[in-house]
């Protein structure tokens, strides 16, 4: 019985793109590994059994497709909580295709997960500048802003994300937290302003009393 023919990189890439919907992150990573291996063999001029039909014959097409595969694998690493692997693949994707918004958003999300909120904002700002109506990037930027105590900005981004994507899910939970934190911060600022006002009045009264005593 003959062995079945190996998958082409097109078939592997298509299968890798389907597996995230099934939450099959390990399978997605495995297929991406195979696609990138075939791509490397092709660039090195080594023979392999299944010719790739997914990539353009132009160098620019090869580069873009590899960037997409690195991003796809990065997303699978992110959902597998392998955040450093995610960062590495996002770096590889962006090296091939700078300002790729999906890769920037994914790297920003990984930075958030690692507590690197300044780095997250840097990536997410560029992603949103590149694609202004990128709701997922706005959600992750809102989370980074919330964690940095920038509550007004967080509420704005999370509300915009809800309007774009119809609300629901993780974004709503963060919006409730951000709105609560903003309200508390505003109440604290108002309370502190009232305290300072009272202190100024008391200081002024004390000074006036000292002047009367001197007279």
List the domain range (segments joined by +) for residue 113.
99-215
My answer on whether 60 and 125 are in the same domain is no
- How far apart, in whole angstroms, are the C-alpha atoms of residue 188 and residue 165? 33
Does the structure show a pLDDT above 60 at 2?
no
pLDDT digits (tens, 9 = 90+) for 95-141: 999 999 999 999 999 999 999 999 999 999 999 999 999 999 999 99
CATH number at residue 145: 1.25.40.10
The answer for residues whose C-beta is within 8 angstroms of residue 63's C-beta and 6 or more apart is 96, 97
Look up tokens 């600022």; give the residue. Answer: 189
Query: What are the C-alpha distances in Å from 154 to residues 32, 178, 182?
Result: 34, 6, 9
Select from 70, 98, 126 the last residue of a domain.
Answer: 98
Does the structure show a pLDDT above 60 at 52?
no
Q: What share of the chain is helix, strand, coil (3-state, %, to 5)?
A: 80, 0, 20
């Amino acid at each position: 019985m003959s062995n079945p023919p190996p998958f082409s990189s097109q078939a592997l890439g298509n299968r890798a793109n389907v597996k995230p919907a099934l939450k099959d992150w390990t399978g997605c990573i495995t297929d991406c590994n195979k696609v990138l291996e075939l791509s490397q063999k092709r660039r090195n001029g080594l023979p392999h059994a299944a010719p790739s039909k997914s990539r353009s014959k132009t160098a620019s097409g090869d580069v873009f497709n590899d960037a997409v595969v690195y991003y796809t694998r990065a997303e699978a690493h992110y959902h597998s909580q392998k955040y450093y692997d995610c960062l590495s693949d996002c770096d590889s994707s962006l090296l091939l295709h700078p300002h790729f918004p999906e890769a920037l958003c994914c790297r920003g999300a990984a930075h958030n997960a690692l507590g690197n909120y300044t780095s997250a904002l840097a990536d997410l700002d560029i992603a949103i500048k590149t694609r202004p109506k990128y709701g997922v990037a706005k959600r992750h930027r809102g989370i980074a802003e919330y964690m940095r105590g920038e509550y007004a900005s967080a509420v704005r981004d999370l509300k915009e994300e809800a309007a774009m994507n119809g609300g629901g899910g993780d974004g709503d939970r963060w919006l409730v937290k951000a709105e609560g934190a903003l309200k508390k911060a505003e109440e604290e600022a108002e309370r502190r302003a009232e305290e300072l006002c009272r202190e100024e009045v008391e200081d002024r009264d004390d000074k006036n009393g000292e002047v009367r005593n001197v007279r």
